[in-house]
């Protein structure tokens, strides 16, 4: 009898359980995030940029930006990168450094964009996997 009552209570409790869902705000949009990593090896010259949208499971999660001609974009500074991304709807949410080999500090910018669906994440960006 205890097993039947326990099973019944467990079934009733589980009726109110929902899987994780996307909570949209009153404008119908929700936030998505992207990490932008910028670096140059000698501290001079153009900045190389890599992006991570967090939707890849392999070890090569970073992608690079390319122009309309298929050439990898290089920027004069990280501020130019942030301006480029800002024109495409991204906003800086935070920053952090990671020290790589040979004590090279690589800055990571956490960017946020509000979208209606996930297909809008890379809207206006030409991305390719890094070689």
Q: What is the 3-state secondary structure (H, E, C) of the chain?
A: CHHHHHHHHHHHHHHCCCCCCCCCCCCCCEEEEEEEEEECCCCCCCEEEEEECCCCCCCCCCEEEECCCCCECEECCHHHHHHHHHCCCCEEEEEEEEECHHHCEEEEEEEEEEECCHHHCCCCCCEEECC
**Is residue 12 included in any domain, yes or no?**
no
**Domain extent at residue 107:** 20-129
Q: Report if residue 114 sits inside a domain.
A: yes
pLDDT at residue 93, rounded to an integer: 93
> What is the number of domains present in the chain?
1
Q: Is residue 56 in some structural domain?
A: yes
Has residue 14 been placed in a domain?
no
What pLDDT score does 62 carry?
82
**pTM > 0.75:** no
Looking at the domain assignment, is residue 113 inside a domain?
yes
Whole-number pLDDT of residue 102: 73
How high is the pLDDT of residue 130? 64
For residue 11, tell me if it sits in a domain. Answer: no
> Residue ranges of the chain with pLDDT lower than 50?
none
Q: Is residue 4 part of a domain?
A: no
34 in any annotated domain: yes
Count of beta carbons in the 10 Å neighbourhood of residue 84: 17
């Amino acid at each position: 009898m205890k097993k039947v009552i326990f099973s019944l209570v467990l079934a009733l409790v589980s009726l109110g359980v929902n899987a994780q869902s996307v909570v949209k705000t009153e404008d119908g949009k929700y936030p998505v995030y992207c990490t932008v990593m910028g670096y140059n090896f000698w501290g001079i010259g153009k900045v190389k940029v890599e992006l991570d949208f967090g939707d890849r499971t392999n070890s090569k999660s970073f992608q690079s930006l390319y122009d309309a001609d298929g050439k990898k974009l290089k920027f004069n500074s990280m501020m130019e990168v942030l301006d480029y991304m800002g024109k495409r709807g991204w906003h800086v949410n935070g920053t952090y450094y990671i020290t790589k080999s040979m004590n090279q500090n690589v800055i990571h910018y956490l960017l946020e964009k509000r979208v209606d669906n996930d297909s809008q994440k890379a809207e206006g960006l030409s991305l390719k996997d890094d070689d």
